[in-house]
Amino acid sequence: MLKIAFPYVEISRVVAAPPKRVWHLLTDTFTWEDWGPTVMAVRSSDRYIKKGSYGRVKTALHFWVDFEITDLDPGTYWSWRISGIKATGHRIESLNESSCRLVFQVPFWAAPYLVACKIALDRIVQLLNR
């Protein structure tokens, strides 16, 4: 589902998995390259991110960029800056104990990146169904 929430654009999907399990996958830097289509490798200060975690991500174009986790509300939301620029927000809206809505939020100017976010949503669902 696409939604404009200016100054952001969001894409979301209902996920048939417990919110805690989805959160675990989203915050484990060891899994980012499994679900993130633009992430080839990660070097992070923390395996499981927290506010202030930092590191580097190797992009699909094979160059490294710095990141910092700027906002984190445990179990529900995290966002980051890539090379100092506000980037994707990741939100989980609990529907019940066994399902949630997973939302990716990007700044309006980065709306074309929603294509990568849609691929990420699909990959996350595939990983959770294994």
Rounded Cα distance between 121 and 102, Å, is 8
pLDDT of residue 62: 95
pLDDT tens for the chain, 130 residues long, are: 878 777 899 999 999 999 999 999 999 999 999 999 999 999 999 999 999 999 999 999 999 999 999 999 999 999 999 999 999 999 999 999 999 999 999 999 999 999 999 999 999 999 999 8
3-state secondary structure at position 33: helix
Distance from C-alpha of 126 to C-alpha of 130, rounded to nearest angstrom: 7
State the residue for tokens 């989805």.
22
pTM beyond 0.85: the answer is yes
Distance CA 121, CA 100 (A): 12
Q: What is the pLDDT of residue 6?
A: 78
Could you give the strand order of the β-sheet that contains 85-96, starting from the edge strand earlier in sequence? 2-5, 8-15, 99-107, 85-96, 77-82, 64-73, 54-59, 39-44
Q: How many CB atoms lie within 10 A of CB 81?
A: 15
The single-letter code of the amino acid at 105 is: Q
